[in-house]
Amino acid sequence: LAPETAKLKKFMQSIQSNPLKLVVVGAKRGKTFIRTARQAGIELSGVCDISPEALEHWKSEPGIRLYETYAQVLEDPTVDAVCLATPAGLHAAQSIEALQAGKHVISEVPAIRTLEEAAKLIEAVSSTGLTYMMAENYCYCREVLMVQHMVEQGAFGELIYASGAYIHDARNLMFSPDGSLTWRGEWRRTNAGNSYPTHSMGPVCRWLGINRTDRLATLSSFGSKIRAGQIFANTLYPDRTEYQEPGFFVAPDTCSSSILTDNEVLIDCRVDYASVRPHDMFRYELQGTKASFFMRDGTAQFWVAGYSDAWPAGEAKNGWDPIEKFAADFEHPLWRTYGKEAKAEGHGGGDYFVLREFAEAIREGRPPAIDVYDAVAWSSVIPLSAESIRTGSQPVPFPAIARGPR
Ligand SMILES: NC(=O)c1ccc[n+]([C@@H]2O[C@H](COP(=O)([O-])OP(=O)(O)OC[C@H]3O[C@@H](n4cnc5c(N)ncnc54)[C@H](O)[C@@H]3O)[C@@H](O)[C@H]2O)c1
């Protein structure tokens, strides 16, 4: 661990002498970033929001400049980087504008909504040479990173299957108090497939080495019936009859995509942020030839050859083992070193690690762990799943733009 500790010391020194000045754009989700940014060694120098009410909260924060328009941020030469926490449909255009204005970008999820946006974003990153990272915080939760470390150490053997699901009853975020649709409501009205795939795809693709040793090949998607938005709207806004019209909402309550990789690993990617149930924040599975992992409702379970009980021919005996059985050998170095700082921050430590990684990548002049190609590959499930469902769940190939760098 000594090299990591030395690295941390060096990182902190460089931050104190030359802090990265970051402006958060979108003051709501952005609120969670202020403490986290400081913890991750970034100077949160400003906040931008087009809504005066959203900026109100920030007026009492010392040293934070408030911007009422995005253009003001991009014109400010003191700003090094922007953190985009705006409605999802704005991310691609705002990222491209920031890069062209000379700012590094960390963007909330998803990165893009269409393949045209994907091509323009990749072009903007490569032509400017600036740092672009997607803030996929779920990749950094302790269990996810431990599995990644186990994969890297060979404990899973050859990988066969992985799944990720984003299951969160977020219907209360679909409507504004006056009954109009928020961007999330609009998202459900206009995206007919899996419209929020990166929390599922991120961890899975990192385990599988997507864009490194494997690539996403083809996808086939299925959508359930569409009920949840209508039921919720009927309870809260019975006078808004448009919400009850068939076809008003187009996002299936549950959407499931089967994805095959070049190495013939099967991925299941599911989204359901409308059905009634408690929030299941991290739901994942990984199957290899030597080990198996699943996580549901906050509990991770493992079976690992050589560690877990087995019959003489190697089949599993006596069920699953808890995470702590593997911590001594497989805790990820990031969690071993920074776990204490990370635990205090949002989303299982993920918010801390994404900001840290972003700042480090800029300082070290290297690509970030989640680069523009990852952002595009994982987010491309949005247009591809809609296309598959539109054509009766036909398989859709991942186009070159979503298959990593050449
Ligand atoms: N990674 C995670 O765990 C996680 C969690 C929550 C939200 N998110 C993402 O964060 C983003 C924001 O989500 P939210 O829940 O805070 O949304 P929100 O609608 O509550 O807030 C968005 C804010 O952006 C502001 N805004 C809109 N257009 C703007 C513009 N052009 N310039 C500046 N500000 C503008 C709005 O006024 C609003 O205050 C979304 O992309 C969402 O997917 C990610």
User: pLDDT digits over 249-281, tens only?
Assistant: 999 999 999 999 999 999 999 999 999 999 888
Residue 109 pLDDT exceeds 60: yes
What is the pLDDT, as a whole number, of residue 1?
40
Residue 2 pLDDT exceeds 80: no
Higher pLDDT, 14 or 210: 210
Tell me the CA distances in angstroms from 163 to 55, 58, 74, 385, 406, one per residue in order.
39, 39, 39, 16, 26
pLDDT tier for residue 11 given thresholds of 50, 70 and 90: low
d(CA 306, CA 220): 36
Residue 12 pLDDT exceeds 60: no
pLDDT one-digit tens code per residue, 283-300: 999 999 999 999 999 899
Percent of the chain with pLDDT over 90: 84
Question: What tokens appear for 95 in the block?
Answer: 């990222």
Ligand 1: residue whose CA is nearest its atom 38: 26
346 lines ligand 1 (CB under 6 A): no
Mutational test site, ligand 1, from 32, 56, 108, max ligand atoms within 8 Å of CB: 108
50 lines ligand 1 (CB under 6 A): yes
Shortest-distance atom of ligand 1 to CA 86: 24
Q: Which helix (H) or strand (E) holds 351?
A: helix 350-364
Higher pLDDT, 313 or 349: 313
What is the pLDDT, as a whole number, of residue 6?
62
Q: Which helix (H) or strand (E) holds 256?
A: strand 255-261
d(CA 255, ligand 1 centre) in Å:
23
d(CA 207, CA 267): 11
Strands 104-107 and 132-134, by their bridges, are: parallel
d(CA 376, ligand 1 centre) in Å:
19
Mutational test site, ligand 1, from 86, 97, 186, max ligand atoms within 8 Å of CB: 86
71 lines ligand 1 (CB under 6 A): no
d(CA 127, ligand 1 centre) in Å:
27
Distant-in-sequence contacts of 173-176, Cβ < 8 A, 24+ apart = 174/229, 174/232, 175/232, 175/233, 175/236, 175/237
**Rounded to 5 degrees, what are φ and ψ at 276?**
-75, 125
Residue 202 pLDDT exceeds 70: yes
What is the pLDDT, as a whole number, of residue 81?
97
C-alpha 231: how far from its chain's center? 28
The residues, ordered by sequence, that sit 6+ positions from 117 with a Cβ below 8 Å of its Cβ are: 92, 93
**Rounded to 5 degrees, what are φ and ψ at 18?**
-150, 70
Mean predicted confidence (pLDDT) in 128-138: 97
Residue 76 pLDDT exceeds 90: yes
In the numeric block, the tokens 């003051």 are attached to: 27
49 lines ligand 1 (CB under 6 A): yes
Q: Which of 25-34, 101-110, 234-243, 319-328 is the least confident region? A: 25-34
Distant-in-sequence contacts of 361-365, Cβ < 8 A, 24+ apart = 361/131, 361/133, 362/20, 362/80, 362/81, 362/104, 362/131, 363/11, 363/14, 363/20
Ligand 1: residue whose CA is nearest its atom 20: 28
Q: pTM of this prediction?
A: 0.95
In the numeric block, the tokens 């009850």 are attached to: 244
Longest Cα–Cα distance in the chain: 68
d(CA 236, ligand 1 centre) in Å:
23
Give the residue among 123, 139, 181, 178 at the shortest CA–CA distance from 348. 139
Residue 135 pLDDT exceeds 90: yes
